[in-house]
Amino acid sequence: MQPLKGLTVLDFSTLLPGPLASLLLAEAGARVVKVERPGSGDEMRHYPPLLDGHSVPFAMLNRGKESLAVDLKSAEDRTRLAGWLGRADILIEQFRPGVMARLGLDYETLSARYPRLIYCSVTGFGQSGPRAQVAGHDLNYVADTGLLSLAMGPPEAPVVPPALIADIAGGAYPAVMNILLALLSRAGTGKGAHLDISMTDNLFPLMWWALGQVAATGEAPGNADDLLTGGTARYRLYPTSDGETLAAAPIEERFWRTFCEVIGLDASLRDDAADPPATVRGVAKIIASRTAEEWRAAFAGVDACAVIVRDLTAALSDPHYRARGLHDRATRLPGGQDIAALPVPVVSAFREHPSETSAAPALGSLSGNQA
């Protein structure tokens, strides 16, 4: 029995945060109905890369869901939602605050009719506060909260983060966490809740180390000068002689001692607190003297927390992840093509068919009122 079997989710969201949240719920057994604009649907349907005209990112985020095409600005179309609203356990939306109220679909209106409804609003800055109506994307949110300032590369060549941290870690994951908490609460009280998920609020726990420094010293870490952002020899990226990179993270003393032994660091530099820049320079010079393959061999089977940076293609074919079945599942595009399913953090015990192939929905695949 999947834990969320029998629950129905109405997902009004688009792009990434809400759709990823509802994907996690679908993987655990919930029935997810995407409410989309007629004609164009979720914007993600048109995002590249495309395979035979169908968006791969859309399919990865929306496997196993159904699609209901509704013009929310049409009173006639909104009446088609009545049956779905009556049976929905969870509603997810990520419009700016006030939009759902103008449509008569806000929490206050719906909860009066459906008191068990769990209503999850995902926004950049939350439902209240001076920035509640400000538009933004992931890069804006990590910049606004100070997260980006901790490690964004040199000012002359700043680096965009490689992951959509706010959308996923600040939006989708907290949304699912709080939806599950609300379900537990509802089981005892019989009442739903309005969940105000602010992506920017949820970025601050990711900076716990930097927040600790502010609390202790009154000053925030600078760009890449903290323990966990490349400010020490023990947590840093080092170029090799052939243009690849060694990722070294021997933070604990036992790992640091082993690391120093493997690379042959001069004894005068091993106390990295004595002259941190000198130790960094010493390590960097040694790592730059040998190839990535030589370092890969040197650290093989050694507990020194040091690995060569690999590209995504190599990671996808790695025997470890293959052995764990991370890429065994497939998603079927509306055109019939199969692609690898997006691995999500729902353990196989909670999925009905861990190796199944399920499809992304065609726009408007639900016809009429099938609630």
Return the amino acid letter for 296. Answer: R
Whether 303 is catalytic: no
How is residue 258 written in tokens?
């082993």
**Burial of 113 per CB tally in 10 Å (0-12, 13-18, 19+):** exposed
Contact (CB, 8 A) for 239 and 245: yes
Q: Beta-carbon neighbour count of residue 330 at 10 Å?
A: 16
Of these residues, 137, 242, 271, 303, which one is catalytic?
Answer: 137
How is residue 89 written in tokens?
């356990």
| Beta-carbon contacts of residue 253 (< 8 Å; ≥ 6 apart) | none
Contact (CB, 8 A) for 175 and 21: yes
Q: Where are the beta strands (DSSP E) in 211-268?
A: 236-239, 245-248
Whether 327 is catalytic: no
In the block, residue with structure tokens 């990520």: 94
Where are the alpha helices (H) located in 48-191, listed in sequence order? 56-62, 75-79, 82-87, 99-102, 107-113, 138-144, 165, 173-189
Measure the CA dihedral 276/277/282/284, to 10°: 110
Of these residues, 89, 106, 167, 272, which one is catalytic?
Answer: 167
Rounded distance, CA 27 to CA 63, Å? 9
Q: Tell me the catalytic residues.
A: 137, 167
